[in-house]
Amino acid sequence: MSFEMRLRRIEQIEQEILRKASALMEDGASVYQSDLFVIGATKRVLSLASGFRILMAARNFTCGAALLRMQIDTAARVHALKLVDSMDALCKAVLSGQRFDKQKDREGEFLGTIG
């Protein structure tokens, strides 16, 4: 697959993420703290992917690698929602300004020490 095709594929994935995220939000549905967290993560993923494409097209691989690291961080945070007893309690704490890595999973381990 050519470099240009790979960049177009990233753009296609961005559109797919946007469609799937939109489908999750139904009119009149209740909105929970975890919904707000995932909406923010989705926005971050889409923004980072857009910036990554621009940097790759400019052959700025060093800055692109930094954005890739931020994508991995976002994926890890969303994955961590599965590791806690209450997704909404975790999201409420984080959205109120508490540090993510200082929250604990259902085993009592800090999320910052996973892995």
The packing angle between helices 33-57 and 87-95, to 10°, is 70
The pLDDT tens digits for 3-43 are: 999 999 999 999 999 888 887 777 777 888 888 899 999 99
Question: Quick one: tokens of 45?
Answer: 């993923």
The pLDDT of 97-106, averaged and rounded, is: 94
For tokens 């703290």, name the residue. Answer: 33
Quick one: pLDDT at residue 31? 85
Quick one: pLDDT at residue 114? 53
The pLDDT tens digits for 39-91 are: 999 999 999 999 999 999 999 999 999 999 999 999 999 999 999 999 999 99
Count the neighbouring beta carbons within 10 Å of the beta carbon of residue 94: 20
